[in-house]
Amino acid sequence: MKRLMTLFAAATLLLTAQVQAASGRLAVLDVQQALLSSDAAASFRQELQQEFADEQQQLVDLEKQARALREKMQKNAGLSSEEEMQQLRMQFQKAFGEFQRRGQELQQQRAQREQAFLNEMRPRLDEIIRNLIKQQEIDLVLNKQAAIYANPELDITGRVVELLNQQ
């Protein structure tokens, strides 16, 4: 642990020295926030919601069905024959299994669509960042998550969102 702290302190000192040596214009940017705050992302989320609305409703219906079967099993636990209980357990397992399978499929489909959106937006974002760096003569852009603290005046995330929205 002590060794880790020493390494961290050395890395911090080295980074501080490098930043001070650069003595140029610095900026911080939260790329994920810039992408997700854009009008294109809001439109994409709405489109995605509409695209998967039917599947989402089917998933909700399957969840209700599985819950109803579970409640019925619990309610009839001492009253039903073993054969009836076994049949209820099988129905519940089938409904719950279908719920899980469809839920995973829906998550995968959404993830694929989200990745396609990010792949589509990334070149536009990169171009905007490059142009902003040239316009403002920025020497160093740090990822906002990598900074422990950054003066809000150095944050160009809002400006990047504005430029994304203009395209």
pLDDT tens digits, one per residue of 61-102: 999 998 988 888 888 777 778 888 888 889 889 988 999 999
pLDDT band for position 12 (cuts 50, 70, 90): low
Query: Is it the case that residue 60 has pLDDT exceeding 70?
Result: yes
CA angle 24, 30, 31 (to 5 degrees): 105
pLDDT at 11 over 80: no
* Exposure of 78 in the CB half-sphere (CA atoms within 13 A): 0
Of 12-21, 31-40, 134-143, least confident by mean pLDDT is 12-21
Q: What average pLDDT does the structure give for the chain?
A: 85
Tell me the percentage of the chain whose pLDDT exceeds 70. 86
User: What local confidence, expressed as pLDDT, does residue 15 receive?
Assistant: 55
Closest CA to 158 of 57, 9, 38: 38
| pLDDT tier at 134, thresholds 50, 70, 90 | very high
- Any idea what DSSP says for residue 155? B
pLDDT of residue 18: 53
Residue ranges of alpha helices (H) inside 23-156 are 31-37, 39-51, 53-75, 82-136
pLDDT at 85: 82
Domains and CATH numbers, the chain: 21-166 (3.30.910.20)
Percent residues over pLDDT 90 in the chain: 58
119 conformational bin, left if phi > 0, alpha if psi -120 to 50, beta if neither: alpha
pTM of the predicted model, to two decimals? 0.64
Q: Are 102 and 55 in contact (CB under 8 A)?
A: yes
Distance CA 158, CA 161 (A): 5
